[in-house]
A and B are shown apart, each in its own frame.
Chain A
Amino acid sequence: MKLFDWRCLAVSSALLAVVAAQGETRPQYGGTLHVAVRAAPASLDPADGGPDSFGRRNVTRLMFETLVTTDDNGRAHALLATSWQAAPGNQRWQFSLRHGVKFHDGTALTAEAAATSLRVANPAWNVSADGDSVVIERDAADAEMLAELALPRNAIAKRTADGRPDGTGPFHVVDWQPGKKLTLAAEEGYWRGRPFLDGIEIEMGKSNRDQILALDVGKADLVEVGAEWAHRFSLEKRGLESSAPVELLALVFVRDARTPEEKLLREALALSVERGSMRSVLLQGAGQPAGGVLPNWISGYGFVFPAEADLPRARHDREQVRSAPGWTLGYDGSDPMARLLAERIALNAKDAGLALQPTSAAMTDLRVVRIPLASGDPWLALANAAAVAGLPAAKNKGSSVEDLYAAEQAALASQKIIPLFHLPVYCAAGAELKNWTVRPDGSWSLADAWLGSSKP
C-alpha cells in the first residue's frame, strides 16, 4: 500500500512537471516588454531623414508596415500589398492593397493613403492610387523596387494634422518622449491578430554598457549588444542573437582626393590598418575584416578585396609623397568602440609615417563611420553605403555580379571610403522573453514574442 502510494505520488509529480513545462513553452498574453536601444531618434516618422540605425529600424517596424517584406533569403513577400505586378522594363509597378487593414486611429488603409505615404518618402517617385492599387512609375528600370519598398523608411504612415505619423503595425504609440522613451501598446485590431505582449517600453539613447547593466539588473528585457561584448555573452551562454554581418565599419574621408599624392597617402592609410588585431582584441573576435563595401554574404565576392595590412607597401606609398599633412580622424564620442578603433588606426598609421589625430570633434578630415547596410539587396546596400560616403549612387546597369563588382570597385577606387569591418547586429534578451529572434537583416522578430512570466 505504501509502495502504491509512493508510485502514485511519483507519477502525479511527473505529470505536473510535464504540464508545467508545457506551460512555459506555450505563448501567453500580457506583460510589458522593456527594451533599451542606443538610437535616440527625434521623430517616429519612417520617412524622416534622421540618422539611420538598426535600433531605429526595429522601432519603426513595431508601429509601421511596408507594402512588401523580404525573407531571410531576400525574397519578397506580401505584407500590406497582397500582390504586385511589374510592367515590362520594371519601370511601372502596381501593388494591390490588402483589405481590412486599419491605421491605429481606426481609419482604413486606402490606396490613396498608401500613395501619399510613399510620395512623402520618395519625392522623386511618381506614385498614384488606382482603385485599390498603388501605382509606382519610375524614370528608369528599377529591379530593386520590391527590396526598396521593404525598407522601413518606405513603411506606410498616415500623417495627422499635427504631423504625428500613424501606422498599421502591431503596436500603437501611447507615449512618446522624443529621443528618450517610447511607450507602445498592443493594437487590439491588428489585422494579423493581437500580439502577445500588452505593451513595449523602449528606453532610447542608452550606451551599450548601460543597456547591459539594465539587462543584468532586470530593468530591460531586450538590449542591443556591442560587438566587443558578444564574445563574453557567448561564453556566459546568455540569450544572445545575432544577424548576418549587416553593418559596415569604415573610414570615410570628408572630401574627395584631389591629387595623386593624396590618393597615395589614402592608400597608405588603408594598407596600414591591422584589421586582424583589431578584430581579435578590440572586437573580441566579432565581425569580419572588410576589404570591400559589401559583405561576402551579400555580394558573394567580398573575399577578393584584401583586408590584411601591408605595412611595407604602406610605407612605400607614404615615401612617394614628400610631405604628408596631418589628418584629423573623427569618431562618435558616444561610441567607445569607435574611439578605440580610431586610436588604433592612428597608431597603425604612425607606423606607416602618417599623422592622424583622433578627435570627437565634428569637423574632421575623415571619420570612423558605422553604415547600417540598407538591405540584403546588394545594389541597395551599395547605393546606401555610397550615399553615406558621399559617393555618386551606383547605377544598376545590369544584374550580373560583374556589374556589381565593377560598381563597388569604382566606389573603392575613389579612395573616399576605407572599409574596416562588417559587423553583425547583436541583441540579448532576458530569460523571460520568449519566441524572439534577430533576423539576418538585423531586424527584431517580436510579433510573436511573449513574456514567460507576468510582468507589471
Chain B
Amino acid sequence: MIFRRKLLAVFALTICVSVAAVAGMVLALTRRAFEKTEEHRTAALLAQFQREFNRQGEDAARRVQAIAASEPVTHMAAALEHSAGDSAAYFDLARSMADNYQLDFLEFVDARGTIISSAQWPAKFGYPEGAFESLAGASDQGAFLKQEELQDSTALGLFAVRADRVGERAMYVIGGRRLDKNFLSALDLPADMRALLYQNRGDHFSPDLLVDPAAAGNVADAAHPAEKFATLIEAVRQYDQEAAGIVQWSSDRAEDEVFHAIPLRGVGKDRPLLGILLIGHSRRSYVELKNRIGASALAVGGGGIVLAILFSSWAAARVTRPVEQLARAAQSVAAGNWNTRVVVPGDDEFAQLAESFNRMTAELLTQKERLVQAERVAAWRELARRLAHELKNPLFPLQLTVENLVRARMQSPEQFDEIFGESSRTLLAEISNLKAIIGRFSEFSKMPHPQLQPVQVNEILRGVAQLFQAQLQAPGREPIVCKLELDESLGTLAADPDLLHRALSNLVLNAMDAMPKGGTLTLRSRRDDGRTVIEVADTGSGLTPEECERIFTPYYTSKQHGTGLGLAIVQSVVSDHGGRIGVRSETGVATTFVIELQDNRDMLHTTEADGPQSNS
C-alpha cells in the first residue's frame, strides 16, 4: 500500500472512530435521558391513576352510602327484618337503584351473605355472594378493587360496601363502578402514552381480558394484537411484581412501545392480584431521535471521510510529493540517468533531503566519471600491454631477421641470397602473424548485428556438443564427458543462430581450457519466468570472485595466450539479443555460465514484416 493510501486510511479511520464514539455516547445519553423521562412520566401517570382511582372510589362510596340511606333500601331492610326470607318483592330494586345512582354494580346482600337483589346479574338472587366475609370486613371503609363475576364474563370494578342496620341484622349494600374503557379514557394522558387494563383471571393470559380504550368495541385493534402483552402479563403473574418491557408491534421500531405492568390487588388477607395496569409509552420520539442521531453520525462520518480524502490527499501531496520526486529521481539514477536532480522548494526536511540527494548524485556522477576515466585508462593500458605483448612477439623475430640480413650482407655476401630467401619467408610469416593479430582486434570491433530468426535453442546446443565431441575425446588429453540436460518443452525464440552458436562455442572452449585434467561439461536448457536459460557448466578449477567480476572485461584474460576477447564477444552477443549473462563459480570445483534470453518473438515479426520491404 502506498504511503498516500495509508495516510488516507489512517485519517478516515480516525474520523470514523471519533464520530462513532461521539454518536454512541450521544445515543447512550439520549437513551438514559429517555428512560428517566419514562420513569417520571410513568410515576406521574400512576399517581394520576391512583388519584382517579381514589376519586372514583370516593364517588362510588358516596353513592353506595346514599343508596344505603335511601328510603327504599331502608324500607327493604326493615321489611326483611320483620319478615326474613320474603325478599322476592325487592329482587329488581338493585337494578332501579343502580340506574338512579349511576352505578355499574349494585347488590343487596343479607346478613348471611345471600344476594337479595343484583343489578349486574339479576338472576343471581338467592345465591351466596362470593368472598362475602372479606366484603363484610370492608364495610364502611373506602373503595377497593374487586373482580365481579357476571353472567358471561367478569369485570373489574371499584367497589364500596355499606351496612344498613335495621334491628339486629345487617343488610349490606355492595356497589361500585366498572374499571373499563371509560375509566381509562378519563385519565389525562400525554399524546404518546396510553393506559390499558388486564383483568387477571384464569391460569393463562387471555386476550379477551384486556381492556384497551383504543379498541373499537370489543374488537381488538388488528395492528396491536393483545397477544403481544402475554409475556409481560405472565411475568407479573409469575413474579407478582411490577414488570416492564418493550412491545414490538411491527418491523418499524418507531411503532414500539415501552410498557410498565403494575399489579392491582384486591382486599382480603392474601390481597389477590385482580388486575394489571399497563402504562405504555411510544418509543417513536426516541427512535426518531436515535435515527436522526444515526443519520447525522453517518452524514458527519461520510463528510469526514470525504474531508479526510481531500485533506489526506492534500497532506499526502504536500508530504509525499518530495518523497515521490526523490523516489522517481532514485529510479532515474538507478536507470543510469546520473544527471537527475530533485527540486523541492522550502527549507524543511524534504528540501534538505533533496539537496542531499542532489549532492549525492553529483558526487556519484563525479565518482563515476572518475571511475570511467580510470577504467578507460586501465583499458587502454591493458590494450597497450596486450598490443605490446602481442606485437612484441612477431616484432622480435622481425628485428632479428632484419639484423641477420644486414649482417649477412656485410659478412657473408655469398650466403646472402640464401639467407635473404630464408629471412624473407620468416618476415612474411611474422608479418602475417601481425596481420592476424590486428584482424582479431578488428573483428572484435566490428561484431555483426544479430539477424533474428526462429531458433531452437536445444538444436544449437546439440550442434555445439556435436561440434566439439571430437576435441573433447581427442587423444593426448584427458577426456571430457559432455552431458546434455535439455528441456524439450522449450519453444522457439528469435535469435541469430550463428552468433549464438559462436558464443556457446566460446564458452565450451573456455570450459575445455578450464578442464585440462578432464571432467564433465554440461549443457543445460530450461525455462524460467518466461525466459530461456542456457547454462554451460564445467568441473574445472573454477574462478576466484575477482575473476568473476572482471571476466567479461574486454582483453582481460587469465590464460597465458588468451586475447581476453572470447567472453567479451559472448557478452556482446548476449547483450545484442537483449539477454543477460552471468557466472557462478566455486574455486577449485566448478564454473557455470548462465545465459538468459528473451523470446523476442515480437522482434521476429517486425523483422519478418520488414524483410520483404528491404528485399524490395
Contacts and interface: CB of A to CB of B under 8 A. Distances in A.
A126 interface: no
Interface in A280-304: 280-282, 284-285
B152 interface: yes
B127 interface: yes
Contacts of A277: 125-126
B126 A340 contact: no
Which of B88, B123, B152 is packed against the most chain A CB atoms within 10 Å? B123
Contact of B91 (A282, A346, A357, A358): A282
Contacts of A98: none
Contacts of B152: 357-358
B218 interface: no
A119 interface: no
14 contacts: A231-B89, A280-B88, A281-B87, A281-B91, A282-B91, A282-B123, A340-B123, A341-B123, A343-B121, A344-B123, A346-B123, A347-B123, A358-B151, A358-B152
B151 A281 contact: no
Interface string B69-109: 00000000000000000011101000000000000000000
B265 to A, nearest CB: 28
A347 B127 contact: yes
A132 to B, nearest CB: 57
Given A346-B151, A358-B151, A358-B152, A284 B123 contact: no
A285 B88 contact: yes
B124 interface: yes
Interface in B231-283: none
Contacts of A280: 88
B450 interface: no
B76 to A, nearest CB: 14
Nearest to B122: A340
B99 to A, nearest CB: 13
Contacts of A357: 152
B88 A343 contact: no
Interface of A: 231, 277, 280-282, 284-285, 340-341, 343-344, 346-347, 357-358
Nearest to A336: B122
Interface residues of B, number: 13
B95 to A, nearest CB: 10
Nearest to B92: A228
A282 B124 CA distance: 11
A284 B89 contact: yes
Contacts, number: 30
Nearest to B87: A281
Given A346-B151, A358-B151, A284 B88 contact: yes
A281 B126 contact: yes
Given A343-B151, A358-B151, A358-B152, A281 B88 contact: yes
Task: Across the A-B interface, give the 4 residue pairs with the lowest CB-CB distance, nearest first.
Answer: A343-B123, A344-B123, A281-B88, A281-B91
Interface in B124-170: 124-127, 151-152
A282 B89 CA distance: 9
Interface in B519-547: none
Given A285-B88, A343-B122, 11 more contacts: A231-B89, A277-B126, A281-B88, A281-B126, A282-B123, A284-B88, A341-B123, A343-B121, A344-B123, A346-B151, A358-B151
Contacts of B87: 281
A347 B124 contact: yes
Contacts of B123: 282, 340-341, 343-344, 346-347
Contacts of A347: 123-124, 127
A344 B91 CA distance: 13
A341 B151 CA distance: 12
A357 B153 CA distance: 11
A284 B123 CA distance: 13
A284 B152 CA distance: 25
Nearest to A283: B88
Interface string B309-333: 0000000000000000000000000
Contacts of A282: 91, 123
Contacts of B127: 347
Nearest to A284: B88
A456 to B, nearest CB: 35
Contacts of B124: 347
Contacts of B89: 231, 284
Contacts of A281: 87-88, 91, 125-126
A322 B533 CA distance: 102
B25 to A, nearest CB: 60
Contacts of B125: 277, 281
A64 to B, nearest CB: 39
B186 to A, nearest CB: 30
A358 B123 CA distance: 12
Contacts of B122: 340, 343
A347 to B, nearest CB: 6
Contacts of A231: 89
A236 B121 CA distance: 28
A357 B152 CA distance: 7
Interface string B109-126: 000000000000111111
Interface string B398-436: 000000000000000000000000000000000000000
Contacts of A343: 121-123, 151
A281 B127 CA distance: 13
Contacts of A284: 88-89
Contacts of A346: 123, 151
A208 B225 CA distance: 43
A340 B117 CA distance: 13
Contacts of B126: 277, 281
A343 B91 CA distance: 14
Nearest to A341: B123
B566 to A, nearest CB: 119
A285 B126 CA distance: 16
B92 to A, nearest CB: 8
A285 B87 CA distance: 12
Nearest to A274: B126
A340 B88 CA distance: 14
Contacts of A340: 122-123
